[in-house]
């Protein structure tokens, strides 16, 4: 009878321990998943900001205002072609 | 009672009790099991909606224009709050104003949702606070300025598409919501459990547009600068690839903040003289006129159906070519009298006027083109000059595209590709010809007329030094609610770039500019700004190989580019060379296309118009030319003009004006 009781207690402890460990891992996974969501959202926000900051619509006025740059007039550039091997 | 009997009684009772328990358990498990498990699930398992992110919208170069971002929405249950101070501090840190915080903590209220959406990181900071409920949501972020937003449209507060492409492509962009299921413990904490599984949200399909964001930015900026400078009420720019019908840019600028949508697709206007080439095409197709046939244009004054038509440029006679180049109203009215009303109507209808183009956009206008049965005696003449009908900027671009692609009216495309979340292409745009509107030879002839309009006609302000441009200007009286407003005009320019093998059809339309109002002086220069910027832009949807060939063709023979009608690949085994090492910007293009021979030592005359005289002389000397000056003051121009290719040490005459 005592052996049965001890076995029962041991099995119960094992079950409870397993469940507790499982719940702890699940909680950890959930937190990691939440952190991942936060980081992914942050990455998306930063990517969008970088795209906006590097877009022509944003950069062109800045380049003109702060760096005094300007687009060349149509006579202000030359188109060069790659040389073709002469026969 | 005997001890044995008593023991049996106890055992029996225990057995009965055990049997009762087993029976009850069996009853609860087998008969009532479903009900109890539902109730237990309701109490122990919590399930939140996982909103599906909408698909990303990209431009043709892969730049994201609209993206879904994970955010959170917060709500406060004031009666559940145990630490008002902590909640106040946390909400204040998130930027919630004091009034909203006070309302959120008012115990008379049961549930106070906060109107704003917060970054997901904010949700993590308030998650531990009792009474603050965090719910996942999806926000839509748009990259780009006003015009791109007009094309893309908006989502309402409930996340539903309201207008623009978000609405017309909603079925593709919208995904399927999922659920996030977890087990709730006694303290309200949540734990994942293998037995309780949620459903992943399925993101919507990604959409690739035909729009090129770099070109869109260039167009938007040129347009907004022009509208401000010319004190116009607004304007539109449409750029279309004439060989595929794909729309590369749709820029809109309106001073009126109530303006919504994409007016280039939905607002109509009278096209004015930009319609004249279609009359010329109708005459040529039916053999009713020849390009070099002269017409008496009555010194620019002609009365028809009781109304007098005037020309700006007075002349005795003009050929059909010159009528288009000089935009002669008298000439086109007299030529178009050779067409019957039905022929005139059918030509315009065939070019797509009066019918929506079918572009993927929820609010497109078809314009107005009345059937001949509803015409007045003046209608044929008015239509020849681009009045008594209305068009959208897109319709005009597609109709001109027929002159650029050899005579085919194409179906426009705003969507290039749709890809499911698994990456499978579910739709890809294929070139679709609506109908052939004119034979190739006629299209090429009209295109050569348009080239002359830019080279020596009303649109000379748009001509470029390195590339030939073809096009037509228009200046129509402004019609508001069916009435012409005195002294208000709608200047327009439609250009084909480059003229020999067009890659763009560009339509620029301005609404009621103050001061100069002719299309050639207002809309055409805007086209020039757009083209100049596009040529030097890194990625503006231009085939640089073909472009370089066009540039060299023009440099080799400016006259050759005017005769664009049937320009074949120039055959040469010599690599062309242009020497202009002193110019400020040099581009190397990945081309090795043999084109016409350029004389050794030849160079192009630089653009010096507008420079101080001294600077202009220095520029020309640096380019290797000798200079002869006529007049004094600012430089009005050179003879030969900028872009002309001359041998080294040739004499360039510099005309100066005070």
Q: Which of A35, A72, A86 sits opposite B584 (nearest CB)?
A: A72
Could you tell me which of B391, B273, B390, B399 has the C-alpha nearest to residue B332? B273
Task: Write out chain B residues lying below 8 Å of A63, CB-based.
Answer: none
Q: Are the Cβ atoms of B220 and A71 closer than 8 angstroms? A: no
pLDDT at B359: 92
Q: In this predicted model, what pLDDT tens digit does every residue of B442-471 receive, in sequence order?
A: 999 999 999 999 988 888 888 887 888 999
pLDDT at B631: 72
pLDDT at B592: 37
Query: Where does B128-266 show beta strands of DSSP type E?
Result: 132-142, 178-184, 190-191, 206-209, 234-240, 247-254
pLDDT at B268: 92
Q: In this predicted model, what pLDDT tens digit does every residue of B385-442 receive, in sequence order?
A: 999 999 999 999 999 999 999 999 999 999 999 998 888 888 999 999 999 999 999 9
pLDDT at B560: 44
Q: What is the pTM of this model?
A: 0.76
With a pLDDT cut of 90, the percent of chain A lying above it is 20
CA-nearest residue to B462 within chain A is A74
| CB proximity list for B320: less than 8 A, separation 6 or greater | B280, B283, B289, B290, B291, B292, B293, B295, B331, B335, B449
Distance CA B575, CA B339 (A): 49
Q: Are the Cβ atoms of A77 and B69 closer than 8 angstroms? A: no
Residues B196 and B181 sit within 8 Å (Cβ to Cβ): yes
- DSSP assignment of B450-467: HHHHHHHSTTGGG--SSS
**Residue ranges for chain B with pLDDT beneath 70:** 1, 3, 144, 188, 551-602, 632-633, 643-645, 657-658
Task: Write out chain B residues lying below 8 Å of A57, CB-based.
Answer: 144-145, 217, 220-221
Does the CA dihedral B493-B498-B501-B502 come out positive or negative?
A: negative
Distance CA B53, CA B446 (A): 49
ipTM comes to 0.75
Q: Which of B581, B587, B591 sits opposite A77 (nearest CB)?
A: B587
Grouping H, G, I as helix, E, B as strand and the rest as coil, residue B310 is strand
The CA distances from residue A10 to A2, A5, A14, A22, A23, in Å, are 12, 9, 6, 18, 20
pLDDT at B556: 58
CB pairs under 8 A between A and B: 154
CA-nearest residue to A73 within chain B is B532
Task: Write out chain A residues lying below 8 Å of B192, CB-based.
Answer: 26-27, 29-30
**Residue ranges for chain A with pLDDT beneath 50:** none
Residues B506 and B531 sit within 8 Å (Cβ to Cβ): yes
Chain A residues within 8 angstroms (CB to CB) of chain B: 23, 26-27, 29-30, 34-35, 37-38, 40-42, 44-45, 47-48, 51-52, 55-57, 60-61, 71-84, 86-87
Residues A62 and B534 sit within 8 Å (Cβ to Cβ): no
Residues B360 and B414 sit within 8 Å (Cβ to Cβ): yes
Q: Are the Cβ atoms of B217 and A60 closer than 8 angstroms? A: yes
Grouping H, G, I as helix, E, B as strand and the rest as coil, residue B3 is helix
């Amino acid at each position: 009878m005592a052996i049965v009781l001890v076995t029962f207690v041991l099995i119960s402890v094992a079950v409870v321990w397993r469940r507790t460990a499982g719940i702890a891992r699940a909680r950890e996974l959930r937190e990691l998943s939440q952190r991942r969501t936060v980081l992914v959202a942050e990455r998306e926000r930063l990517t969008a900001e970088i795209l906006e900051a590097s877009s022509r619509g944003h950069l062109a006025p800045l380049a003109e205002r702060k760096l005094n740059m300007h687009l060349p007039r149509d006579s202000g550039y030359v188109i060069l072609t790659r040389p073709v091997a002469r026969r | 009672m005997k001890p044995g009997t008593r023991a049996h009684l106890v055992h029996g009772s225990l057995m009965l009790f055990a049997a009762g328990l087993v029976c009850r358990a069996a009853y609860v498990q087998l008969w009532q099991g479903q009900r109890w498990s539902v109730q237990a699930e309701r109490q122990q398992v919590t399930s939140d909606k996982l909103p599906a992110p909408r698909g990303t919208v990209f431009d043709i170069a892969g730049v994201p224009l609209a993206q879904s971002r994970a955010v959170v929405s917060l709500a406060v249950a004031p009666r559940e709050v145990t630490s008002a101070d902590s909640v106040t501090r946390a909400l204040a840190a998130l930027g919630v104003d004091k009034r909203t915080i006070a309302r959120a903590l008012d115990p008379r209220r049961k549930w106070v949702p906060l109107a704003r959406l917060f970054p997901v990181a904010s949700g993590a900071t308030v998650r531990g606070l009792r009474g603050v409920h965090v719910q996942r949501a999806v926000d839509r972020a748009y990259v780009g300025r006003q015009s791109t937003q007009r094309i893309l449209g908006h989502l309402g507060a409930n996340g539903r598409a309201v207008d623009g492409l978000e609405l017309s492509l909603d079925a593709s962009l919208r995904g399927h919501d999922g659920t996030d299921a977890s087990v709730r413990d006694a303290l309200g904490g949540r734990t994942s459990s293998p037995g309780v599984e949620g459903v992943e949200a399925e993101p919507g399909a990604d959409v690739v547009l035909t729009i090129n964001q770099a070109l869109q930015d260039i167009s938007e900026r040129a347009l907004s600068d022009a509208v401000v400078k010319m004190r116009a009420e607004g304007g539109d720019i449409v750029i279309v690839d004439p060989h595929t019908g794909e729309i590369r840019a749709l820029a809109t600028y309106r001073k009126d903040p109530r303006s919504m949508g994409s007016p280039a697709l939905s607002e109509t206007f009278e096209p004015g003289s930009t319609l004249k080439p279609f009359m010329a095409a109708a005459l040529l197709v039916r053999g009713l006129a020849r390009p070099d046939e002269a017409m008496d244009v009555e010194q620019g004054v002609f009365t028809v159906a009781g109304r007098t038509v005037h020309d700006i440029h007075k002349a005795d006679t003009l050929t059909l070519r010159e009528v288009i180049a000089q935009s002669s109203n008298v000439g086109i009215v007299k030529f178009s009298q050779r067409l019957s009303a039905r022929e005139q109507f059918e030509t315009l209808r065939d070019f797509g006027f009066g019918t929506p183009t079918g572009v993927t956009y929820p609010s497109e206008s078809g314009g107005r083109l009345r059937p001949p049965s509803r015409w007045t005696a003046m209608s044929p003449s008015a239509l020849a000059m681009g009045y008594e009908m209305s068009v959208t900027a897109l319709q005009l671009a597609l109709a001109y595209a027929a002159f650029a692609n050899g005579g085919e009216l194409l179906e426009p495309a705003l969507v290039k590709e749709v890809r499911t979340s698994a990456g499978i292409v579910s739709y890809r745009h294929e070139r679709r010809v609506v109908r052939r509107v004119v034979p190739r030879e006629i299209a090429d002839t009209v295109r050569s007329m348009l080239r002359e309009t830019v080279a020596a006609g009303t649109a000379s302000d748009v001509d470029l030094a390195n590339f030939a441009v073809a096009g037509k200007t228009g200046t129509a009286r402004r019609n508001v609610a069916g009435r012409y407003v005195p002294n208000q005009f709608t200047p327009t320019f439609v250009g084909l770039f480059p003229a020999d093998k067009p890659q763009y059809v560009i339509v620029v339309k301005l609404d009621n500019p103050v001061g100069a109002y002719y299309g050639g002086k207002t809309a055409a220069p805007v086209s020039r700004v757009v083209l100049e910027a596009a040529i030097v832009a890194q990625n503006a949807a231009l085939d640089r190989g073909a472009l370089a060939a066009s540039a060299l063709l023009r440099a080799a023979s400016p006259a050759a580019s005017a005769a664009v009608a049937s320009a074949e690949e120039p055959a040469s085994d010599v690599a062309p060379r242009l020497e202009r090492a002193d110019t400020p910007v040099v581009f190397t293009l990945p081309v090795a296309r043999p084109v016409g021979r350029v004389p050794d030592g030849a160079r192009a005359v630089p653009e010096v118009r507008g420079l101080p005289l001294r600077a202009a002389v220095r520029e020309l000397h640096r380019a290797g030319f000798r200079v002869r000056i006529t007049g004094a003051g600012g430089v009005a121009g050179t003879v030969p003009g900028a872009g002309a290719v001359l041998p080294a040490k040739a004499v360039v005459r510099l005309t100066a004006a005070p």
